[in-house]
Structure 1
Amino acid sequence: MWAFAAFGVVSYGLLFQSVSSQATISYTTQYNAPCDERLTGDNGTFTSPNYPNNYPNGKDCRYGISVTPPKVARLTFTDFSLEPGYDFLWVYDGNTTDEAYEIGKFDGPNTPGPVTSASSSMTVRFKSDESVTRKGFQANYAAVDKVFSTCDIGEYLCADGVTCIKAWKRCDGNRDCRGGDDEDANKCAKIFP
């Protein structure tokens, strides 16, 4: 029996061969390692599939992170290399991949800075296309105290208590705050009756 691993695929095989040159039987199966993970606890580490070797093509992975409330989750990348413009890593506040809750979107060879959620949960999504691959990423998460922002003059503090946006972006028809509270119909009606 033999085993071969490459690009997140593990192949196992048995080769039976007779002493005659006429009979050869072989069996091979492939196993694609799952990449969806639920990460609980106040700190931990996770990686892209097959890290530190290149990740496989065609992966769509989700990593759900939950820390103890009222703490928030801080994500720090220790290694990062994705195919620029084709393979991406998104970070979302909460247990969602709704773009309204997107905190960041990353690709390429540059290691992103720390990313902090506004709640006690965070979702990380990694997606690779069907061609070129890279090493991937390694990330640490930790529970940290929520630090509330104070916005500068001319800025609006989003409901998460962390994000500031330019005041002119409030009630402009685009959801700029993670939860979209800058476009709340009741609040906007009071500003623009």
Structure 2
Amino acid sequence: MTENVLQTLFLLQTFFLSVDLIGPRCDCVVYQSTGQRGALTFHSPNYPTAPNYPRGIVCILLSFIGDRNETVEITFIDFNLRPKENNTCKDFLKLYLDEQAAVNENSVHEYELCGDKSSLPQKTFYSRGRSIHLEFHTESVVISNPYKGFIGKYSFIDSSEFQTTMTRVSRDVSPCSYIDRHSNDTHSKGRFFSPSYPQNYPSWSDCSYQFFGRPGEVVKLTFQVLQLAGNTTSCNKDQYQDYIEVYDGVNKTERIAFICGNGGVPSIRSRTNYLTVHFHSGQNINMKGFAATYEYLIIDIAGCRSVYEG
């Protein structure tokens, strides 16, 4: 079945309505999950043909509603709205990422976007629950409009893909601490994430991940996604830098890795059967964070263990 046919079938599940929401009148487009996997597209009116998007749009609300246990992902492919004037967006797209049944004038948005694609804080956004709402507004002032609007793709992802296999320590002890103890009754591998992943992690986070292997084992970590804010040219441990520290053992005495920036981290192995990971974020503009896997390995006979693996 071709992509065009799939998209046509899916759009049969998309419905349009006009309701009193954010303003006196808001025209709504609802994209409802039907269990389909793969990305489909959304766009502003008239995109990408002249006369570009209309002037005087009071409100168009695009709502992406996933099934229970689904996360919404949207990615902007092209973005071209009127840029800021006097530090104010005249034509804008507001993003509401928090879980909410409806959006109204009292709802708090996370982002207000205008300008071109290079001015966006990021290209991909994720819902905190099962829904994302986009509010599109344009001024009615009569001016030429050379701006095309926007187009993006959206998909509904199984939220279980972002659930850690580690055990969360009581919130009374720490709001962001996890442990994993390997035994005959537990799996030898699993996954863990930065807080709120795949949403951006919050500022001033300090998270601990502790791994307890059995005697004769080592712990192997593999970072599949790494997007940290801050200085990417040099890793410095200070309160404003976002970083990951990896320690051999349960005490933070022997550090074997210090990680910052984006991507390019090889696999890391402990020297003992214990390993501790510490994640810190400062007050920078936050990013997606990290997704990593862990695995308990039996020490080879020669006892050769490398901290980094290519």
**TM-score of the alignment, normalized to the shorter chain, above 0.5:** yes
Of the candidates 264, 285, 289, which is equivalent to residue 136 of structure 1? 289
TM-score (norm 1): 0.58
Q: How far apart, in 2, do the equivalents of 1:140 and 1:90 lie?
A: 16
Matched, 1:91 2:264: no
Contact 1:72 1:119 in 2 (8 A): yes
Letter of the 1:38 counterpart: I
Letter of the 1:64 counterpart: Q
1:83 is displaced (CA, Å) by 1.2
Structure 2 unaligned runs (5+)?
A: 1-96, 100-109, 111-127, 129-170, 183-187, 232-240
TM-score (norm 2): 0.37
Of the candidates 270, 275, 285, which is equivalent to residue 122 of structure 1? 275
The aligned counterpart of 2:177 is 36
Q: CA offsets per residue over residues 145-177 of structure 1, 9 Å max, x none?
A: 22477xxxxxxxxxx96469xxxxxxxxxxxxx
Structure 1 runs (4+) deviating above 4 angstroms are: none
Identity %: 29
Q: Aligned ranges for residues 63-78 of structure 1 at < 5 Å?
A: 63-78=209-224
Letter of the 2:249 counterpart: G
Structure 1 unaligned runs (5+)?
A: 11-30, 150-159, 165-193
Q: How far apart, in 1, do the equivalents of 2:286 and 2:301 lie?
A: 38
Contact 1:92 1:103 in 2 (8 A): yes
Q: How far apart, in 2, do the equivalents of 1:143 and 1:38 lie?
A: 14
Q: CA offsets per residue over residues 111-130 of structure 1, 9 Å max, x none?
A: 31100001111000000001
1:40 is displaced (CA, Å) by 2.0
Contact 1:72 1:121 in 2 (8 A): yes
Letter of the 1:43 counterpart: K
SS of structure 2 residue aligned to 1:89: strand
Contact 2:229 2:284 in 1 (8 A): no
Q: How far apart, in 2, do the equivalents of 1:132 and 1:57 lie?
A: 8
Contact 1:81 1:111 in 2 (8 A): no
